[in-house]
Amino acid sequence: MGKKSQRTNKPKTVASTGGKDVQPPNADASKKGKNVRPPDIGTFEKGQTSEETPLLREQSTVSMEDVETTEVAMPSAEEIKKWSPQQVLEFLEKKKDELFLNDKHIKIIEDQEVAGQDFLLLTEEKLMQDGLKRGPATRISQFVKEIKGEEQGTKRKYDESEDLSKIVKTAVREEFARRMPDVLSVSNLSEQKINKIMDDMELKIIGLSEEDFPSLNPVQYPGFQWDSEKDEDQQMQNVVKYFEKALKLPRNVHVRDVHAQVKGQRYLRRANVTLTGGTDIALGPSMTPCASIETKKSQADFKEGQAIGELFIADKRHVLNTISVLTDCNDHWIIFFFAKPEFLKGEQCLVKCVTGRGIALAVIRRFVLEEAKKILSWKGDIDTTANLPALPVCLENITKFLEHTYEAHEDRMTDMIGDMSENELFNMRVRKRLTLLRDWCDLDQQPDVDQLIRQFSDDYENPPPLMFA
């Protein structure tokens, strides 16, 4: 008893005392050879009250780190492989209550002389063939899977998939909430703001002048005389008549005053803004506009951001290709449109054309009549645009503006949708949403989203592009 107690792997009935010598109350009796058992912790000897015994009081100061446990770790599959049939039976005896087994069940396994290696190969089917009923056979086979880690691995993969799905949904939801788009009226778009939007949209600008339209003859028509006592919107009917006379459009192509109509809007995902607003004058076949004209009394009132914003809105709202014109209806005209020049290999750009009145009116007329053909032929109207000058090459490349929303490898996946499993379809939807999220993230957050996108890849032989690596 003079030696300090040493830890072993065997369960103890008395916790460590921190290295102090603890003598049982009947130490003298033990010296005389009598076999005396020290009292259990938390009990009291005859004659003591129910208060703590001295031993318990001393041990109550011991930290939890010194308390040992009697829990026995589950043996590994490698250990069980080396067991004899007798060791397997002893193990099952210890697990009888946990697995709801009785002696009859264990006797069936004993009769089969199942060693450790055999035990790990047991299946529900084999156990039932040996005579076990379905209940104990199922419980034992599931227990074997747990030992081998199969059940745990399957559950872990399922849990990880579920957790990852929740993470993605939560991340996208939070990102949408955090990055609510700015709602901007195009009439208030500053030069700085429109430049920021253009940068976010990765939209480059091509500048043209009236020299770039050699096939068009200038329209000879005087400028509009503004009434200095009235605002522009009070003179819109006169402006409509001005364009009708200057352009001499056929009967089924109209000039309309739309400055008081319901405004449109367009959400630009990459810039995370929603543009709202309308224009003054709309030109196009029937009631389908293809040209928006923003009028100002003087060049000093020009807001290029407003005209570009109106182009974005009209381009999305209407079916035909669209141009946007900013003018004082006199000597200053700027025409904007989206194009896909061949030398840019399909990449979109914004074209800005600065011209005088004659060429500007010629460009507007030629473009409107070209777009009108589409609607007129669809309606079955007589073609009134047969004798037109050649369409300038730059106008041939006018296009609708489309935001790039998914990667090329997703296009390939779309062709295979009919053969995709439910899980692959889920992964594809998640990748698209994560790609959307990636465009909104700050640069330092994008690697984390890329990692999530990688987790949902099904194309094992051809992984996603480098941006997803």
Q: What is the pLDDT of residues 190-231, one digit of tens each?
A: 989 999 999 988 899 999 999 999 989 999 999 999 998 888
Whether 176 is in a domain gets the answer no
The pLDDT, as a whole number, for residue 27 is 44
Whether 133 is in a domain gets the answer yes
The pLDDT, as a whole number, for residue 419 is 62
Q: By CB neighbour count within 10 A (0-12 exposed, 13-18 middle, 19+ buried), where does 73 fall? A: exposed
**Token pair of 304 as six digits:** 């290029």
Whether 309 is in a domain gets the answer yes
**Token pair of 213 as six digits:** 């339209």
Q: 384 and 414 share a domain?
A: no
The pLDDT, as a whole number, for residue 176 is 58
**Token pair of 237 as six digits:** 């009917």
The pLDDT, as a whole number, for residue 78 is 86
Q: Structural domain of residue 297, as residue ranges?
A: 182-396
The pLDDT, as a whole number, for residue 339 is 93
- Report the run of H or E that residue 353 belongs to, with start and end: strand 349-355
Amino acid at 4: K
The pLDDT, as a whole number, for residue 161 is 58
Which of 360, 375, 396 is the last residue before a domain boundary?
A: 396
Q: Which residue shows structure tokens 């939801």?
A: 173
Which of 13, 43, 71 is the last residue before a domain boundary?
A: 71
Q: 121 and 103 share a domain?
A: yes
Radius of gyration of the chain measured on its C-alpha atoms: 42
Q: 373 and 226 share a domain?
A: yes
Whether 157 is in a domain gets the answer no
CA angle, 35 as apex, 30 and 41 as ends, to 5°? 85
Whether 177 is in a domain gets the answer no
The pLDDT, as a whole number, for residue 5 is 42
Look up residue 255 and give its DSSP letter. Answer: E
**Token pair of 327 as six digits:** 């003018």
Q: 197 and 251 share a domain?
A: yes
Backbone angles phi, psi at 339, to 5 degrees: -145, 160
Rounded Cα distance, 382 and 372, in Å: 12
The number of CA neighbours under 13 Å toward the Cβ of 290 is 24
The pLDDT, as a whole number, for residue 36 is 44
Q: How many CB atoms lie within 10 A of CB 1?
A: 10
Q: Contact, 434 vs 456, CB < 8 A? A: yes
Whether 160 is in a domain gets the answer no
Whether 158 is in a domain gets the answer no
What is the arrangement of strands in the sheet containing 253-257, beginning at the earlier edge strand? Answer: 204-209, 349-355, 333-339, 323-327, 291-295, 281-285, 253-257
Instruction: Report CA-CA distances (Å) from 63 to 56, 190, 232, 238, 257.
Output: 13, 69, 86, 94, 86
Q: Contact, 312 vs 268, CB < 8 A? A: yes
Q: 189 and 331 share a domain?
A: yes
Q: 84 and 229 share a domain?
A: no
Q: 368 and 444 share a domain?
A: no
The pLDDT, as a whole number, for residue 343 is 83
Report, as ranges of residue numbers, the positions in the chain whose pLDDT lies below 70: 1-73, 150-165, 167-169, 171-179, 382-386, 404-420, 439-444, 446, 458-469
Q: 390 and 443 share a domain?
A: no
Backbone angles phi, psi at 78, to 5 degrees: -65, -35
Which of 396, 431, 459 is the last residue before a domain boundary?
A: 396
